[in-house]
Amino acid sequence: MAIKITDVTLRVGKKITASIFADTKAEVVDNLTIGDDVLDYGSNAVTADGDVGLFDSDGTWHWLGE
């Protein structure tokens, strides 16, 4: 499993709004924690296959094209 934070746009305590890179969509789960940080809504993800996901305020990922 490999997830990398590529940019942080907002930090409130341990919650971050960030852009991440992951090897696969399966690695990008709801309530994703990276180190001590928890991804907050407004975050986005890109995978090695070019999949793009957006994290919404109800705590779920939405993948473009699905």
Q: Which of 21, 2, 15, 14 is nearest to 57 (CA)?
A: 15
Domain of 42, in residue numbers: 3-63
**Tens-digit pLDDT profile for residues 12-37:** 999 999 999 999 999 999 999 999 99
**Which pLDDT band holds residue 38 (cuts at 50, 70, 90)?**
very high
Number of domains in the chain: 1
25 DSSP 8-state letter = G
User: What is the β-pairing status of strands 44-47 and 15-22?
Assistant: parallel
State the average pLDDT over residues 39-66.
Answer: 96
